[in-house]
Structure 1
Amino acid sequence: MITRAEGAYLGAVRAFQNPMLDLLHKRHAPLVVALLSVTFTAERPTVPVADAHTEIGDALDQLRAAGYDDGLPVGTARDLCRQWADAGWLVRQVLDDDVETYRLSAHAVGALEVAGRAGGARARVSQSRVRTLLDAVERLAQDADPDVLVRMARLDAEIRRLQAELERVQRTGTVEEVDDEQLLEEAENVLHLVRELPADFARVAESIRAMQRDVVTALRQDERPTGDVLREYLERGEHVMESTVEGRAFSGALRLIGDPQRIDELAHQLDVVLRHRFTRRLPEQQRAELAEIVRRIEHGLAQVFAAQREASYVITAQVRNHDPLRDRQVDALLRDVMTGLQDWMPGSRRFQPVAPLRRLPVADVDHLRQTAGDLRPPEPPAALVVWTDDEHDVSPDDARAWGGPHYAELTAHLRTLGPDEVAVAVAFDAAPDELRRPVDLLGLLEIAHLRGMTETDELAFVDALRPDGTRRRLAFGGVTTRTKDETHD
């Protein structure tokens, strides 16, 4: 049987295993709290990994320059961030633009809030705090009591009290003023409640991410039929908010703070408070916290909704691409790799080279299955046709007719044209039939290029005549050229 002292001790041991208390219990806890609080702010909840290493390194250099060497840990900013991530105070994540960032875990947010409250004004047993407690207990009793008559009597009493207050205000036309001391107490109570919100939102988001990891892990190890897997896990992905205790609690709170009209009313009420004269007695930090309440709530809601969307996307994508056989093969391969590393590490030396795998191993196959082919011998190709030049006697005139452009004749033809410039299409159409072959058009364009041609915006068409009498209509960009070459003519 466990004694009371032993039970209390075991409970305290479990409590101090929480990363939040572990952070505050460390030797360098003040440094960790200070560096995390200056690096991560409400305006910048996530910081790129490279920027975080640079900023924390600069802060360490400033502290060393100020003479705090004895209280600083040994190691670079990168080493410290890696240690904090292993301890559960920082979370590394990759954003949509492939930028790796750090963000505070829920445990780190809670530790910073505890340190902030301990270093600031102490909470007092005030009228506001007691009234908050009494109102919470009264609401709890009302929600827990199903008696209809008791509920009706309570509502009647509340109506009579409010009606009497309304009649008094209507009769006197004045509202009883509350002294500044009581307003200060109520403002401190509001700030005390608000400081719990960031850690609460962070815990909800992390519980959703933890559920996401559990679902994906279970899905990879699931051997049930694919239809059953799809139905169960798609349902969990659609109702991810109801899958955790924190998520269900957040869903209830969302019905109060998720209404945009309620948020607008809260912002208006805070504006009324900040315009009152008693707020001038508040420190600047507390006035800023009051002004930032709405933004804190909106940021916390966005943080939880982002975690919900990510979890739903990851679970749905995993289900759609789920291949139990492939996943088991990958898991077995990774286990083999880890086993090989564990066997190799004890006998290895520092900087010992490792022979790379330059080629994949070849499977040792004893026999390949063979199939009988066609037993008929392959047929030889057809014999080549005997062809000699004697059978195709071509005269020099025929060969010349099918040859290249007649440059000399084309140049002489251009001299016969009257104007100083002529369109190439006009010159080609005016040529005799033996100079109107398609290849002669190319020769004419070449001559025009050498003499200098001018392009027009029109599209030219010509009818070319081959030596066998066939015609071919050609189109090209219209150009003009000189009829005579001044350098040679």
Structure 2
Amino acid sequence: MTDVDLEFARVRAVLDRPTLRLMSRPTSAVVLAVFRTVFDRDVQYVPAERMHLQVEEHVARLQTAGARTPANEARSAAPDAGMVSEQGEPDARPNGRALCREWVAAQWLVRSNSPDGDEQYSLTSHALEALSLVDALSSDRALISESRLAMIVDAVHRWAARAEPDPAIQVRRIDAQIAELQAERDRLEHGEVDTVDDARMRDGYTNISDLIRQLPSDFKRVEEAVAAMHRSIVEDFRQEVRPIGEILDDYLARTDNLMEATPEGRAFEGAFELLRDDALLLRLRDDIQTILAHPFADGLGAAERRAFRNTVVILRQGIEDVLAQRRQLTATLRDQIVAHDVARDRELDAVLRSVERGLATWMDQGSARDRLPLGLLPATAEVGTLRERFYDPDAESVPPAIEEPDDDVFEELDVETIRRHGGPLLTELRAALRSASADSSVDAFHGLPPEQRRPVELFGLAHLLTGHDDFESAAHLAEHRTVRPDGSPVTFHMPTAALTDERRGPVPDTTNDEHAQEAR
């Protein structure tokens, strides 16, 4: 092949890329305008239903204005998606779902699932590259400017310093930079400040904005490269016939070297190491605020200021999208390795291929408005009533007879025994508190006979002393020596109250308590 043949093949391959196909279509102006309107600089994902409605509205508006729209092409691709007017002619209103389906096939849109499970659309790297090219060509700027040349010279100088193998030359370069910075510092200390005019600041801002506009497409290209490797690995895994040990070694090695397998991945790894420095991102945010504080920024629009201020957000979001795609690949590999069944995958693949062949045959023989009844896959199984319980001999046996209770098991109890194990004796306690021989409630309690100083009597004593200030405030704690019904002593600490002549009278005397005692 001659040189012109090789050059023709290279140019032909470039022109067949989705980016240039989008730029060269007769309806590219409408498609790009819709993309720029729906996907703002701050919007990366749009829900599917909202996307369909917005595409219909925007394309219909441009069609009314006289622009050439892809509505007719979408309607010809899906004739049954259109509507019919009252005169029996096809409605000219575009179908958003059909247009989005066409743009997905053209590799301008990606349809995926959100973390919530809903379907959403996002632009591919080809569409982002086309939008970036349109933005760059539509801005009024000089292709050769001071800031662009200074950026090129600084980059060449920096990388030349890193590529220099001689340490002496590197030391001389650093000494020259130190001397230059020291001279700049001395000049600033003397109050000599060089102010930059608005024109030069505007030129530098435009140059930086051009680079920022390329970031989303660059990140999306890396994400698509990871997704392509994802599909390739899964497809190879399904067709794999090697031993499981060899499969594990091969795919784990490919996972470890995933970002080094493609040029995009290697470039992303270098950028990721740089952008992982939080101090660097903080300095970048401060520098952006400083640039926007210059007087030239008063002439910027709100959208331009917002896009320039969101540079750090774009960087973080791009890195997060690529890492999310890589995590998905790792999870898929793990699931495939754990639950991989070669025979089942081949059987499923054969069934799907047969379904595709059947659909292709039906599409060739039928028309767009033919109807084909499809049954449920799989069909409902007709199963009779299954026995839920089986014969159990124990369930059919007669339970054993109930034995007659032995009347001699329980000892005969008298009233005195029952009362000794019952509640407090409020009548005796009240009489003891009213006696003139006791100065305090604890003395009155200890004056009772042992059979009336049971632990349960303390509950009755607390009930009768309710309302005495010194008892309720627990000003004095005293030992209350009680005797259990079995004769064993036990001591409790409980508040006591002084029994003066004024306080003997108000001791509660409720008839309900006596009735309760008699009931016990």
Normalising by structure 2, report the TM-score: 0.64
Matched-pair contact (CA < 8 Å) for 1:85–1:91: yes
Q: Which residue of 2 aligns with 1:318?
A: 336
State how far apart, in whole Å, the 2-side matches of 1:227 and 1:98 are: 35
1:298 partnered with 2:297: no
Amino acid at match of 1:203: R
CA distance in 2, matches of 1:358, 1:267: 57
Q: Give the 3-state SS of the residue equivalent to 2:188 in structure 1.
A: helix
Equivalent position amino acid for 2:34 in 1: L
Specify the SS of the correspondent of 2:120.
strand
Corresponding residue for residue 114 of structure 2: 95
User: 1:77 maps to which residue?
Assistant: 96
From 147, 150, 164, the counterpart of 1:128: 147
- Give the aligned partner of residue 35 of structure 1: 34
**Within the alignment, does 1:251 sit opposite 2:249 as a pair?**
no
The percentage of aligned residue pairs carrying the same residue is 33
What does residue 52 of structure 1 align with?
Answer: 51
Aligned partner (choices 220, 226, 229) of residue 211 of structure 1: 229
Shift of 1:144: 3.1
| 8 Å Cα contact 2:108-2:124 kept in structure 1 | yes
Of the three residues 277, 282, 290, the one matched with 2:300 is: 282
Q: Comparing 69-78 with 130-139, which one deviates more in the overlay?
A: 69-78
Q: Which moved more, 1:241-250 or 1:13-22?
A: 241-250
Shift of 1:341: 3.9
For 2:205, the equivalent position in structure 1 comes to 187
What is residue 335 of structure 1 aligned with on the other side?
353
- Residues 238, 312 of structure 1: 8 Å contact kept: no
- 1:2 maps to 2:20: no
**Counterpart Cα distance in 1 of 2:351 and 2:101:** 27
2 CA distance for matches of 1:90 and 1:340? 29
In structure 2, the residue matched to 1:414 is none
Q: CA deviation at 1:252?
A: 0.7
Tell me the distance in 1 between the aligned counterparts of 2:303 and 2:19. Answer: 24
Aligned equivalents of 1:320, 1:165: Cα separation in 2? 63
Instruction: Give the conservation status (yes or no) of the 8 Å contact 1:113–1:195.
Output: yes
- CA drift at 1:70: 4.5
Give the direction of change, closer, same or farther, for the CA distance of 1:262–1:220 in structure 2 (3 Å limit): same
**Matches of 2:281 and 2:312, distance apart in 1:** 7
Q: Distance in 1 between matches of 2:113 and 2:250?
A: 28
How far is the alpha carbon of 1:153 from its aligned partner?
Answer: 2.3
Question: C-alpha separation between the residues in 2 aligned to 1:160 and 1:359?
Answer: 81
Deviation at 1:238, TM superposition (A): 5.0
The answer (yes or no) to whether the contact 2:26–2:68 under 8 Å persists in 1 is no
The aligned length equals 358
Q: 1:196 aligns with which of 209, 214, 237?
A: 214
Query: Which residue of the partner structure matches residue 252 of structure 2?
Result: 234
Q: What is the aligned partner in structure 1 of residue 498 from structure 2? A: none
- Measure, in 1, the Cα distance between the counterparts of 2:27 and 2:268: 34
- Aligned partners of 2:108 and 2:123 also within 8 Å: yes
Which residue matches 2:326?
Answer: 308
User: Which of 130, 139, 142 is the aligned partner of 2:161?
Assistant: 142
> How far apart, in 2, do the equivalents of 1:122 and 1:12 lie?
28
Cα displacement (A) at 1:356: 4.9
Q: Hey, what's the Cα distance between the residues in 2 that align with 1:123 and 1:108?
A: 25
Q: RMSD between aligned alpha carbons?
A: 2.4
The answer on whether the counterparts of 2:41 and 2:307 sit within 8 Å (CA) in structure 1 is no
Contact 2:288 2:309 in 1 (8 A): yes
Give, as a single letter, the amino acid of the residue that structure 1 aligns with 2:198.
D
- The answer to whether the 8 Å contact 1:113/1:196 transfers is yes
SS at match of 1:125: coil
Provide closer, same or farther for how the CA distance between residues 148 and 104 of structure 1 changes in structure 2, counting only shifts above 3 A: same
2:327 is paired with a residue of what secondary structure? helix
1:14 partnered with 2:13: yes
Mapped to 2, the partners of 1:357 and 1:314 lie a distance apart of 30
Range with greater deviation from structure 2 (119-128 or 107-116): 119-128
What whole-Å deviation, never above 9, does each CA across 1:120-151 have from its counterpart, x for those lacking one? 22343111100111122223323333233322
Secondary structure in 2 matching 1:97: coil
SS at match of 1:92: strand
Return the offset for 1:83. Answer: 0.8
SS at match of 1:32: helix
Letter in 1 for 2:175: D
CA deviation after TM superposition for structure 1 residue 81, in Å? 0.7
Q: What do residues 417-450 of structure 1 show as CA deviations (whole Å, max 9, x unaligned)?
A: xxxxxxxxxxxxxxxxxxxxxxxxxxxxxxxxxx
Unaligned runs of 5+ in 2: 76-94, 380-520
Please say if residues 28 and 73 of structure 1, whose CA atoms lie closer than 8 Å, have aligned partners that are also in contact: no
State whether structure 2 residue 167 is matched by structure 1 residue 169: no
1:189-228 Cα shifts (integer Å, max 9, x gaps): 1111111111111111111111111111111111111112
Amino acid at match of 2:71: P
Distance 1:204 1:226 in 2: 30
Contact 1:191 1:286 in 2 (8 A): no
How far apart in 1 are the matches of 2:69 and 2:112?
Answer: 30
Residue 112 of structure 1, CA deviation: 0.9
| 1:118 matched to 2:137 | yes
Q: What is the distance in 2 between the residues matched to 1:212 and 1:314? A: 8
Separation in structure 2 between the aligned mates of residue 285 and residue 123 of structure 1, nearest angstrom: 22
How far 1:343 moved relative to its partner? Answer: 4.6
Distance change in 2, residues 1:196/1:355 (3 Å): closer
1:99: Cα distance to partner? Answer: 0.6
- Please tell me whether the aligned partners of residues 222 and 265 of structure 2 are also in contact (alpha carbons under 8 angstroms): yes
Q: Distance in 1 between matches of 2:253 and 2:377?
A: 46
Distance of 1:276 and 1:261 partners within structure 2: 23
Contact 1:237 1:316 in 2 (8 A): no
Task: Give distance in 2, aligned partners of 1:284 and 1:130.
Answer: 28
Residue of structure 2 aligned with 1:264, choices 282, 299, 313:
282
Encode CA deviations 1:162-182: one digit per residue, 9 max, x unaligned: 222233333x13332223222
Cα shift at 1:251: 1.2
**SS of the residue 1:103 aligns to:** strand
Cα deviations across residues 227-286 of structure 1 (Å, max 9, x unaligned)? 121232234335543343212211111222222222111111111111121212334443
Q: Secondary structure at the match of 2:127?
A: helix
Shift of 1:105: 0.6
1:101-126 residue CA offsets vs partner (Å, 9 max, x unmatched): 11111111111111122222234311
- CA offsets per residue over residues 370-413 of structure 1, 9 Å max, x none? xxxxxxxxxxxxxxxxxxxxxxxxxxxxxxxxxxxxxxxxxxxx
SS of structure 2 residue aligned to 1:146: coil
Asked if structure 2 preserves the Cα contact closer than 8 Å seen for 1:211 and 1:244, the reply is no
Alignment of 1:470-481 (within 5 A): none
Conserved? CA contact 1:42–1:296, under 8 Å: no
